[in-house]
Amino acid sequence: MKRQPANLSESLHQRLNSYALAASAAGVGILALALPAEAKIIYSKTDKLIAPHQSLNLDLDRDGKTDFKISNGATCATDMCWTWLSAKGVIPSNGVQVGGYDGVAAALKPGSYIGPNRKFSYAAVMLDMVWGQTSGGYWAGVNNRYLGLKFQIHGQPHYGWARMNVDVTREGSYTAFIAARLTGYAYETIPNKLIIAGKTHGKGANTLHGAGLRQLARGASAIPASRAKQ
């Protein structure tokens, strides 16, 4: 017995088309949520000496604008000198990660986290020396230590680092001079995402949660019955 095709009303056709469009939009939305923006680290290798009485302008994202200023200061009188090394953002929303005390820049080891749950200060002392002795800071005689940095791109916070070596040269009993060298810097392209000190490349740790792309491609039948009920 031949079945006659059913003639659907125009209004029912419209409703079915609407459901199909809605389902397609939902599918696209799920895929968009399942694909996070790809994190990327931009690394710049360099070799720049910051001698006494000099400063360095650091353009972390290489957009032609200074983000941070690192200064090596010295004030001398008779047989003694006050010398210091400091870092500060060019705008108040840029900051240097501090450690131990407010306003004192942390000298981070490789592998340290730099990100939203850390404390930052607009200006921070890296090293302070009076009468040839260290009176503050963690940067005396260090190699391959990292400044943790927070700065703005299009009004959103990004995190980065600057790798530095710092030497102290003593002259007499009461005088010491600081020589700092910037050897590299990097930043994370995804806003508000942490970066690891010393990491120069590689994707971020964003992972796909839930059913996953493979299941989304195969459809609802790929999802276990127990999860489908939920």
Nearest to 152 by CA among 87, 98, 94, 95: 94
User: Does residue 34 fall inside a structural domain?
Assistant: no
Instruction: Judge whether 229 lies within some domain.
Output: no
Q: Classify residue 61: in a domain, yes or no.
A: yes
pLDDT in tens, the chain (230 residues): 555 545 555 664 565 466 455 545 544 443 344 444 566 999 999 999 999 999 999 999 999 999 999 999 988 777 777 899 999 999 999 999 999 878 999 999 999 999 999 999 999 999 999 887 888 899 999 999 999 999 999 999 999 999 999 999 887 767 788 999 999 999 999 999 999 999 998 664 332 233 333 333 334 333 344 333 33
Nearest to 65 by CA among 42, 45, 94, 41: 94
Residue 210 lies in a domain: no
Q: Does residue 83 sit within a domain?
A: yes
pTM here is: 0.71
Domain that holds residue 60: 41-196
Question: Which tokens hold the place of 174?
Answer: 């009461």
Beta strands in 51-154 (DSSP E): 54-58, 68-77, 80-89, 95-97, 113-114, 120-121, 123-130, 133-137, 145-153
